[in-house]
């Protein structure tokens, strides 16, 4: 069977809880539900279709990559947008995060084992609050609310997760911790 997967840094519970409150607000106020289908995360490798039979191999590859990494700090500050539909928690620039994303993409694409394509868009780490189901008309109103909000948090990223779509939402199916 073929399923959709993506690879990410999953946010810890307290940040996921904050994000969930805002996602729920967006659902109640603007009928946006897509962002509610995944836990708070920073996408490293965007969604791709893969045969389930490759899942163990992908886990092993993520393990092999993860043990060469060390924990690092991720800082979040306020909100930003990708016009005209996405509102997100802003991830402050982070050289280590950029490096890990680039190295992971190269590592997985060079193996040629997984159907992961070279990403053409520039890596822009963020934690989504509202996405493609935020109507353009509601976007301005929603952004006026979030533009005023202040938020500051940080966490120590200590592993990489594989998320799998279960036909309704995304589940974390595997996490491999960094060496230290």
Question: Rounded mean pLDDT of the chain?
Answer: 96
**113 contact partners, CB below 8 Å, separation of at least 6:** 54, 57, 61
* pLDDT reading at 154 higher than 90: yes
**Cis peptide upstream of residue 117 (ω within 30 degrees of 0):** no
Mean pLDDT within 136-141 = 92
Give which of 87, 79, 172 is closest to 135, Cα–Cα. 87
Separation of alpha carbons 115 and 49, rounded Å: 7
Mean pLDDT within 38-62 = 97
* pLDDT reading at 127 higher than 90: yes
Q: CA-CA distances (angstroms) from residue 54 to 2, 135, 159, 170? A: 10, 37, 20, 18
Strand partners, 176: 160
Identify the pLDDT of residue 119.
82
Q: What is the CATH number of the domain that holds 31?
A: 3.90.1140.10
The pTM of the whole model exceeds 0.85: yes
Token digits of residue 51: 């045969």
Number of domains in the chain: 1
Structural domain harbouring 89: 2-177
């Amino acid at each position: 069977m073929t399923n959709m997967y993506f690879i990410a840094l999953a946010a810890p519970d307290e940040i996921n809880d904050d994000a969930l409150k805002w996602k729920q607000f967006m659902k109640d106020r603007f009928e946006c539900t897509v962002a509610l289908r995944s836990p708070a995360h920073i996408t490293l490798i965007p969604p791709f279709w893969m045969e389930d039979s490759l899942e163990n191999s992908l886990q092993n590859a993520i393990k092999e990559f993860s043990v060469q990494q060390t924990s690092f700090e991720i800082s979040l500050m306020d909100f930003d947008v990708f016009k005209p539909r996405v509102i997100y928690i802003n991830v402050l620039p982070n050289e280590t995060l950029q490096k890990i994303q680039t190295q992971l993409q190269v590592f997985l694409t060079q193996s040629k084992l997984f159907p992961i394509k070279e990403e053409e868009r520039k890596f822009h780490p963020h934690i989504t609050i509202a996405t493609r189901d935020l109507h353009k008309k509601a976007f301005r109103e929603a952004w006026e609310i979030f533009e005023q909000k202040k938020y500051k948090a940080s966490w120590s990223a200590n592993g990489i997760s594989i998320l799998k779509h279960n036909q309704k939402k995304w589940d974390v199916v595997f996490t491999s911790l960094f060496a230290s």
